[in-house]
Amino acid sequence: MSSQRNLDTQVIKTDYAEIMKKSYIDYAMSVIIARALPDVRDGLKPVQRRTLFAMYELGLRYDRPYRKCARIVGDTMGKYHPHGDSSIYEALVVMAQGFKRGMILADGHGNFGSIEGDGAAAMRYTEARLTKYTQDIYLADLDKKIIDYAPNFDETEKEPVVLPVRVPNLLVNGAEGIAVGMATSIPSHNLGEVIQAVIAYMKNNEITTRGLMKYLKGPDFPTGGSVVNKDDLLSIYESGQGRVRIRGKVEIEELKGGKKQMVISEIPYTMIGNGIGKFLNDVYHLVENKKTTDIVDISNQSSKDGIRIVLELKRGADTENLENMLYKKTRLEDTFGVNMLTVANGRPEVLGLKSLIEHFVDFQFELTTRKYKTLLQAEEERKEVQEGLIKACNVIDLIIEILRGSQNVQEAKACLIHGETATIKFKSNISKKMAGLLRFTERQAQAILDMRLHRLIGLEIEALEQEHKKTLENILRYRDILDHYDSMSELIVFELEAYKKEFARKRKTVIENAQAAVFEEKQIEEQDVVFLMDRFGYAKVIDLSLYERNKESADAENKYVVSCKNTGKICVFGSAGKMHQIKVLDLPFGKLRDKGTPIDNVSTYQSNEEQIVAVYDDQQLYFGKFLFATAKGWVKVVAGSEFQVAKRMIGATKLQENDEVIAVTLIALDKHLVLQTKSGYFLRFPVCEVSEKKKNAVGVRGIKLRKDDVVEQIYLIEEGIESKGIYKDKQISLNRLKVAKRDGSGNKSRP
């Protein structure tokens, strides 16, 4: 049995790379098509479509009570979207946030977050229902078989492949999504303008993008503001890609006493959320770093009624220059990257404005065709029934005689349809002969059997005839719509105009061409200052004259004291071989007794990763030569010009494994270098024996170390000047050490 099982086993050999490639492509396409990108037809991502459909199925109409969001999320996840409740609730929240969407799709009740970045309350607290806009434009006619349905994830339910959206939602509400290797970013637009552009295309499908932009002026962000690169919009809408420059709205208000205040009442769309706090922080830093002295106070007076950020200005402030500074230095002017990527015909594609509208119009013709085929079929069935009832009313006595003479419904029905009279009792042969001539259809016969006696009243018969007349008119109209392109086009345009009349709103975002923000940055007067940093890493800058008056105490209380320019930089070398640059202007300028700020807060230096070895100002550094020494005895000389970089942090030297920098010192080549080890070995040799290297080199060996020994201290000494070293509390006269060669073992000091 075992041998038989082995014979039946087939081993399929496949290249592992091919399996990985196929698996990754399958995963990528699943994310692109089924999760991250919107469909060009309804402009919705799957999670949005499924959430709206679940709300529709729950009966959450705009004129009915709200239901808990937890119920909506539960139904959506359990029936259609098995990807976690957080993604569903987040999609629902965004569809209810008026500051993120041009037209909200869900009517939220409760805390659904704020424009300043506050998150929505938990789904167990909030409630929602559909808006009238969503009901009328996104979910109408679902009962008319106008869209296809597909099995859900476990094939227990049916879900719509696409919703029958009657306006270009992709343009009206925009879209944002990150897939695998691609992302979509489409701005929102004004509903009325979008509809006008669609109508213009339908009337002339040869219209150009420039022609469409006579109706659709540009993005219309829910936060307002202004688009300031109007001339770039044409190329953006033609290609589907580009950058839109947006600015907030700034107003100047006059106050008593000749003072003014700058009020920001609209913000760029990209500032939604944490961007507002970041903007306030940026303005604070402009004031703190003395980039501007015109701002006296900053306050955020925003509320549910709208944005209101107030900058109180000093008397005589240059408001125009300050406004340009805010555009240049903060996110009050920002860019919105446009990438009109969408799923079209089952694959991702970047579409221009005209192509996007073309896809939408094709979808509308498909929806309308399917809708009116369904309506036509219903009217033709109704016509058949009505004609049967009218005919029956004309021979109602015969019908009653057939019914009274029949033993059961089947006999009566067979007589009405096929004229079978053999089993039916008639009052006369004439009635029997007439009954044999009856040829009602199956549907007509059933309607006659279901007819109530009150339909025989004269007015009811007249109403039936009027209803039949109306049905015939509907059939003619529906056939005309289905058979003639112009008729269907006229109908779609009529419906679009009705939606525009009911739901369109005024444009919020201004479209204009504005000059690039140019401001005159106030020149900082250069002065001599002193950088102070204590042993705890707190740093500050004080005036040179103040330092000179308190030199003794300043030197005693601080580990590093460096004279510099207020326009210069401080360069901090760490034991990990890195150099960190700090602008002096970024350091607090104050009094001698001020605490200062931790050096970690104003630089890339991290005290938990390395120790500070040396501190210099940029002028000292750039024009001198520096000796680097490491714990494992490696030394090198580096020209200061190697450190003339703009980066805040660079590698100052290359280190071997488990090595660290112990000293970085300014040198003169005519001096001698003394290396002192932890075990008490001293080696003295001329500095000129140390090779000059690049900053990314290791260097040369300065001393041969014994096992477990490390270099602990270095000294630079000069002939004729007595220099002392200390080993185990004993002073060592460094000038008496014998001059040797570099890379020696050194002499042992006896404590």
| Active site positions, annotated | 125
Packed helices 442-450 and 353-394: angle between N→C axes, nearest 10 degrees: 60
Phi/psi class of residue 484: alpha, beta or left (left: φ > 0; alpha: ψ in -120 to 50)? Answer: beta
Q: From CA 226, how far away is CA 333, in angstroms rounded? A: 9
- Secondary structure letter of residue 43 according to DSSP: -
Q: From CA 403, how far away is CA 329, in angstroms rounded? A: 91
Q: Which of 283, 302, 305 is nearest to 292 (CA)?
A: 283
Given the DSSP bridges, would you call strands 649-651 and 661-666 parallel, antiparallel or unpaired?
unpaired
Q: From CA 420, how far away is CA 432, in angstroms rounded? A: 9
Q: Which of 95, 164, 524 is nearest to 374 (CA)?
A: 164
CA atoms within 13 A on the CB side of 729: 0
Q: From CA 653, how far away is CA 519, in angstroms rounded? A: 40
Q: From CA 575, how far away is CA 631, in angstroms rounded? A: 10
Phi/psi class of residue 117: alpha, beta or left (left: φ > 0; alpha: ψ in -120 to 50)? Answer: left
671's enclosing H/E stretch is none
Q: Environment class of residue 67 by beta-carbon count within 10 Å: exposed (0-12), middle (13-18) or buried (19+)?
A: middle
Rounded (5°) CA angle 724-728-731? 20
CA atoms within 13 A on the CB side of 578: 16
Query: Three-class SS of residue 39?
Result: strand
Residues 63 and 136: beta-carbon distance below 8 Å: no
**β-strand partners of 333:** 247
Phi, psi of 93 (to 5 degrees): -60, -45
- Both tokens of residue 138? 């996104």
Residue 683: Cβ within 10 Å count: 25
- Secondary structure letter of residue 692 according to DSSP: B
Q: Which of 590, 592, 519 is nearest to 552 (CA)?
A: 592
Q: Which of 653, 663, 572 is nearest to 616 (CA)?
A: 572
